[in-house]
Every structure is written in structure tokens, then in C-alpha cells.
Amino acid sequence: MAELAGRHAVVTGGAGGIGLACARGLAEAGARVTILDLDEETCTRGRETLAEAGCPVESVACDVADRAACEAAFAAIGATDILVTCAAIVRPARILEFDPEDWHRVLEVNLTGTFHCAQLAGRQMVERGWGRIITLSSVNGQIANIGRGAYACSKGGVDMLTRLLAAELGDRGVTANAVAPIPVDTPMILEAHGPQDRALWHAQTPNPRYARPDEVADAVVFLASERAGFVNGHILNVDGGFMASGILPR
């Protein structure tokens, strides 16, 4: 399948987890892919992993929270057709105990970093009259998940930023949509979630498991394709029915 042949996709946080799966899915769909991640060592590791899977990609080291670094990265990358914003961090704590520095850093990376990349890539897309901006959100942006306050607020902000991009760029040939999964089996989640967290999520999800990275990537590839040309401003939950259900008597 080469439905994205001739397109250049940039994936932030592309060296691991969901970003790595998205980079692979886009490459397998025919896109030229550049991954952005925090440092050269991380980028190299991601490139090598993807190369072993038969998906050679390019990479640029970039902290998405650093505006100057983002500007330099997108200038070096050149024309971007598809942007997928996967770079994100989690700092668990309840609101009354939340460290203000941790709060600032989570919003800086997850929300402001998404803004930096979407603005810079969006300007390139508008110049050519075609583009796909796909933000990685979370069901945590739609619910008050105890102990995940900064992350939830950042993802709620990402949802609104996505809608604003859709409203402002739709008549310029650019769509913007978000993919919002429940927890995904990635190293970040394995570190953040213990057995009790996992049991609670499973108990309230009709399909009682976490999402797989490739399932999120499949949604991203669809939104990047011509098949999704009239899908704009949508928050696509990849959640096994979590947001559709209430109490589940197992």
C-alpha cells in the first residue's frame, strides 16, 4: 500500500512508543518520514529500530518545548505535508500536591510544544494548499482522571487547539484532527501504571485491555490519507468503548 507516496510526514516523539508506531505506519503507507525526538541518542535508537523493520526514516533532535529549536528543526526538514504530534510527558500527582514546576513542564511539552509544531508545519502546509495535522490527545482530555491533572489539562487544551486549527485552516486545504486513546501499552505507560491502575482501566473498558500502539497508528494513517479529506476538527477516540460506557457490571 502506498497511499501516502510523495508525502512527507513529521512525527514528534517519533523515536518510541506511539510515535514510533505512527512513524512505521506512515512509512509503510509510502510516506517519507522524519522523526523528531529529544536528543541525538534517542533519534538514533528510533531510526535503527525502524530500519530493522524495513522502514528507513530521517531524524532531527528537537525539544518541542523550545521554540527556537522547533524553528530550526522545521527549517531544516523543509516541506511538511503531514504532522503527527506524539511528544508528551506525564507527571502523576493530585492537584493539591502538584509541583508547580512539574505542572509547567507538562503543559510546556504537551500543549505548547504541540502549538509550536502545528504552527510551523501549518504555515508550510498553507503555502502549498494541502496538509494534515494530527495531534495525539487522550481520553484524559475529556474526563477528570484523578492523579493525572496536568496531563488531562494539557490534552484538553490539545483538543481545543485541534478544533481551532481545523476552523482556521480548513479553507486553506489543511485538516486538523486528534486521536485520543485510552492508555496504550508503551514504555511510558508501563512506568506510570501499576497493576491496580491497569485493573481499574480494564474493569471500565468494554474491550477490557489497553490499546496497542499499532491500533493508534492505524487511525493516524487513515486521518493522513485522502480517504479522510472531509474529516476535520474531529477527536477520534481509540478506546475500546471506554468513553461510550458507564458502569460495567463484570
Cβ count within 10 A of residue 208? 14
Is 151 designated active site?
yes
- Of 18, 15, 6, the C-alpha closest to 220 is 18
Q: 15, 58 in Cβ contact below 8 A?
A: no
CA distance 73 to 41: 16
CA distance 239 to 225: 21
Catalytic residue among 31, 109, 139, 151: 151
> In the chain, what are the helix, strand and coil shares in percent, each to the nearest 5?
50, 15, 30
DSSP 157-207: HHHHHHHHHHHHHGGGTEEEEEEEES-BSSHHHHHH--HHHHHHHHHT-SS
Residue count of the chain, please give it. Answer: 250
CA distance 142 to 155: 8
Q: 184, 211 in Cβ contact below 8 A?
A: yes
| Active-site annotation, residues | 151
